[in-house]
Amino acid sequence: MSLPIYLIGARGCGKTTVGHLLSKTLGYAFHDTDHHLQTSLQCTIAQIVAEEGWESFRTKESDSLVAVTADSSVVATGGGIILRPENCQFMRDNGRVFWLSVEPDELAKRLDAEPENEQRPTLTGRPITEEMSDILKVRSPLYSSTAHHIIDATLPPQEVVDNILQVLSQQRA
Ligand code: ADP
Ligand code: MG
């Protein structure tokens, strides 16, 4: 099976880290919807949100999701990709969807450790540690209902990859 593999989950859950490793192991291409959006539009997510608002950003994100979708590829998605039902349906219809599940406290720790890498403004302007728990309350049911498989992504990245590979091999059997 060479259907696209979509990685979903909150910011900091490891989509980029795990996606890179997984794509190398499978010999697949790696795509990141955030990266695609920013390179194709030649501006940062923060700029799009500041200038055009979140709804416009979400529309461009949906376009990027469709644009990067191809067989034999791993697609890391933005944390809010599941907020549009058509994105969820698209991913489920076109590939296998894995939720990299991580508790809010661990997510906040990871993001605090690398504040310079933040490219996206927080949704509420509050510190990420406070915000994460509230966001997850709303989004976890959406991640769960969109995912074909839920993966414990608090494990080290290589173990996360191994567990995804195991799921995929069971499907091929
Ligand atoms: P995402 O793309 O989902 O926002 P990243 O892959 O950029 O997440 O990871 C966010 C941060 O967490 C990075 O500093 C990364 O090194 C770290 N990280 C990612 N996966 C893990 C993991 N399984 N265990 C510990 N730290 C991780
Ligand atoms: Mg990422």
pLDDT > 50? residue 88: yes
Q: Is 116 in the pocket of ligand 1 (CB under 6 A)?
A: no
Report the atom number in ligand 1 closest to the C-alpha of 76: 2
| Contact residues for 67 (Cβ-Cβ < 8 A; gap 6+) | 36, 40
Helix boundaries (H) for 42-81:
45-52, 54-68
ipTM value, please give it: 0.99
pLDDT single digits (tens) 32-58 = 999 999 999 999 998 999 999 999 999
Q: Is 58 in the pocket of ligand 1 (CB under 6 A)?
A: no
Could you tell which of 7, 17, 128 is best to mutate to test the pocket of ligand 1, judged by most ligand atoms within 8 Å of the CB? 17
Q: What's the CA-to-centroid distance between 169 and ligand 2, angstroms? A: 25
Tokens of 162: 């191994």
- CA 35 to chain centroid, in Å, comes to 11
Give the span between the Cα atoms of 102 and 26, in whole angstroms: 24
From first CA to last CA, the distance across the chain in angstroms is 10
Domain extent at residue 150: 5-172
Q: What's the CA-to-centroid distance between 15 and ligand 2, angstroms? A: 5
Q: Which CATH number belongs to the domain containing residue 108 in this structure? A: 3.40.50.300
Tokens of 106: 């661990």
CA dihedral 31, 56, 144, 92 (to 10 degrees): -60
**Range 116-142 average pLDDT:** 76
Q: What's the CA-to-centroid distance between 170 and ligand 2, angstroms? A: 27
Residue tagged 């414990």 (tokens)? 152
Per-residue confidence band for 111, with pLDDT thresholds at 50, 70 and 90: confident
Specify the residue with its C-alpha closest to ligand 1, atom 5: 14
Q: Is 48 in the pocket of ligand 1 (CB under 6 A)?
A: no
Query: If you ran DSSP here, which 8-state letter would residue 6 be given?
Result: E
Per-residue confidence band for 158, with pLDDT thresholds at 50, 70 and 90: very high
User: Collapsing DSSP states into helix, strand and coil, what is residue 20?
Assistant: helix
